[in-house]
Amino acid sequence: MATETFRNPELPIEQRVDDLLARLDLEQKAGQVSQFFYFGNPEAAQANSDNDVDEVEQAIIDGRAGSVLFVRDVETANRLQQLAVERSPFGIPLLFGFDVIHGFRTVMPTPLAVAASFNPELAEAAQRVAAREARSVGLHWTFAPMVDIARDPRWGRIIEGAGEDPCLGAAMAAAQVRGFQGQTTEGRFGPESVLASPKHLAGYGAATGGRDYEDSDISDAELWNVHLPPFRAAVEAGAATVMSAYMDLNGVPASGNRWLLTKVLRGEMGFEGFVVSDANAVRSLATQHFAKDLQDAAARALHAGLDMEMTMADPAYSRLPQAIVDGRVSEAELDQAVRRVLTAKFRVGLFDQPYADASRTQAVLSAPEHREVARQAAEESLVLLRNGGLLPLDASSLKSVAVVGQLADSARDTLGPWIFDFDLDETVTILDGLRARLGDGIEVRHEPGACIPDRLQPSMFDAMEPEPAVTGPDYDDDAAIERAVALAEAADVVVVVSGQRQNQIGERASVSHLDLPGRHLEQLQRLAATGTPVVLVLVSGRPLDLRWADEHLPAILQAWYPGSRGGEAVARALVGDVSPAGRLPFTWVRSVGQVPMSLSHYTTFQPEFAHERYWDEESTPLYPFGHGLSYASFDYSDLRVEPARVPLGGTATVHVTITNTSDREADEVAQLYLHQRYGTSTRPVRELKGFQRVTLAGGESTELSFELGPDELRHWSAVTRDWVQDASTFDVWVGGSSAADLHASFEVQ
């Protein structure tokens, strides 16, 4: 019998794919574009037997499954892979996917936090660690990065992305794709890489009312200028797959939207990989009253350009063979989807090495250098919102530190949401970090204080937690607050850790208000009244109402959900071992009534009164986009643009000098903002167009340069319904936040 061409590793991938595809019947083709959730088969695992198979395992054996997700251990991955390789038709290996969002065993700060570092190289390094660990247990594919732009902090999934800005979002999207996928050799991914899947195409972050899964109604100009640039950047970085969104986009569900998935993604952006749906999104086309039934849903999704269906059970794509017979969709369209999926399997090396090497898994998962990346990521993500001189704390003058808050001693909440293979025993909480850093000579005592009320609507992820953190109905807030106040009165300083639990943000964790939880504001007021200096440390992934705290407390530090080494990072920042240099990736509103609010708004009627749009308070943010303080001080000077006049299609270079005017080394994030004064369409008052994070010693100066070329100077216009670059005058500001006042201008002629 002749050797099957597709098994020959010496042949080009395209030739191997063509050979294998020609051998498959319609049912087997439909199987390759069907992905199943797998939550385990304890009986089969315990018996180490293939005789007792469950529904998903039978689909694998029958060739009705091309991919499986939610496997997270090497033994299960290899056992299921063996079913595919040794018992399914043609032995086509499975592609294992998983939500590796911000780390696998080593948990990094959440993606929004890493975005606050304004350091794409850090994001790349963090996801490189995640890829190594995920691949060591047999995973080949991550459903990340999430690149949705989010300007409504009520939306829980804001925490998975890079915030409100397309420039920052695009940089972080590309960096994460590079981190996950690494370098390719002749189109093949390395043995420590995983396929990236930027999501959710497109507009999911603009869900109505910030309510998860709701529809999005977005103007064409906003879609092209704001929501699509991060996807373009991810595609240009080489993303192997893309995930479509659940919701309706302007009246057409994203997972059945041919304009979006084919014309925009493949035509305009040049994407060549495969598109996977979000969970049950193809079946949902019928639920959303877009498709008549599941066969219609499958046919419409495939025709739209959706190559693989992710489903809990009973895939709609299993109806594709009959849909082809009925003339609802062509076999050529199915072949195209299967070809894309098979190509990815060959590129990741599955046909040549389908199994994970279990002998090296533990060494990879426990690598100490991975934890160091987590510590660095946590440190660089910290944002100092306010400092009246209290920070950094002088450890040499401290005898007693009071730490207040349930979150201060909660390992699970320190890690944040969207993780599933964590190790709580090695997680450093904020309380742990302070005790270790301050040492035995300083008394560090803790009281949980006012509780964080539990969710009214339970989290769908709580069932996956070994011990979900809950407060319970019998918690005595009065007594807890009194104990916290007594502790504060006897201390030299109080570190209050407030915010939201990890299950109060993320998917299905939208919220209707931005208040501090429960009686936390009252507790802050009581603690401040003791006269003991109070540092507020926030553990959150969205802005919370800090109006009182900003006015009355001397120091506020945004810690996000800082990950495995987060408590160590927070402690080092509080005592000045490092200077916080993170910057806000979103506009921090005063209250929920201001939502949505973003940096890139437009100049409208009577702009001189823009700060008075609300009669009851300032119509300005509490903290602007890009805000973040430092223990050092920096001066920006000598801003110039060369040349002062550039032709259409030309490039201007912006130069600026930054000087560390303090006596300590620190990082600074230089940010460049642009405004076009007139043209085909009106343009926002300021748009971020460049940023650089630099380290400067005390007294050191450096000159930075930014290039503004056609990509930075163009915009999509509703007038021409296309990209345009105008001859106009452009304003440039460079500084440490979007409130920068160092200004220059240039002309495009």
Q: Encoding tokens for residue 671?
A: 């940010």
Q: What CA–CA distance (Å, rounded) separates 111 from 395? A: 31
> Of 292, 108, 148, 152, whose CA–CA distance to 229 is shortest?
148
Selecting among 278, 296, 307, 726, the annotated active-site residue is: 278
DSSP per position, 547-594: HHHHHH-SEEEE--S--TTHHHHHHHHHTTSS------SS-B-SSGGG
Q: Encoding tokens for residue 360?
A: 């090296």
Rounded CA Rg of the chain: 27
Task: Give the phi and the psi of residue 69 in degrees, each rounded to 5.
Answer: -125, 160
Q: What CA–CA distance (Å, rounded) separates 633 from 640? A: 22
Strands 743-748 and 645-646: parallel
Secondary structure of residue 10 in the 3-state scheme: coil
Secondary structure of residue 168 in the 3-state scheme: helix
> Of 222, 101, 228, 231, whose CA–CA distance to 157 is shortest?
101
Q: What CA–CA distance (Å, rounded) separates 494 from 391? A: 12
Q: Residue with structure tokens 């399914």?
A: 88
Q: What CA–CA distance (Å, rounded) separates 274 from 340? A: 5
Long-range (24+ apart) CB contacts under 8 A made by 312-316 are: 312/36, 312/37, 312/279, 312/280, 313/36, 313/37, 313/55, 314/283, 315/30, 315/34, 315/35, 315/36, 315/282, 315/283, 316/282, 316/283, 316/285, 316/286
3-class SS string, 231-264: HHHHHHCCCCEEEECCCEECCEEHHHCHHHHHHH
CB atoms within 10 A of CB 566: 35
Q: What CA–CA distance (Å, rounded) separates 667 from 582? A: 9
The number of angstroms, rounded, from the C-alpha of 351 to the middle of its chain's C-alpha atoms is: 31
DSSP per position, 277-301: PPTTTTTHHHHTTSSSSHHHHHHHH
In one-letter notation, the amino acid at residue 592 is: V
Q: What CA–CA distance (Å, rounded) separates 631 from 654? A: 27
CB atoms within 10 A of CB 22: 10
Q: Is 99 a catalytic residue?
A: no
Residue length of the chain: 749
Q: Encoding tokens for residue 91?
A: 């032995």
CB of 673 closer than 8 Å to CB of 583: no
CB atoms within 10 A of CB 281: 28
Q: What CA–CA distance (Å, rounded) separates 585 from 582? A: 9
DSSP per position, 14-53: HHHHHHHHHH--HHHHHHHTEEEE----HHHHHHT-SSS-
Which 8-state DSSP code applies to residue 91? G
Cis peptide bond prior to 202, omega within 30° of 0:
yes
What are the residue numbers of the active site? 278
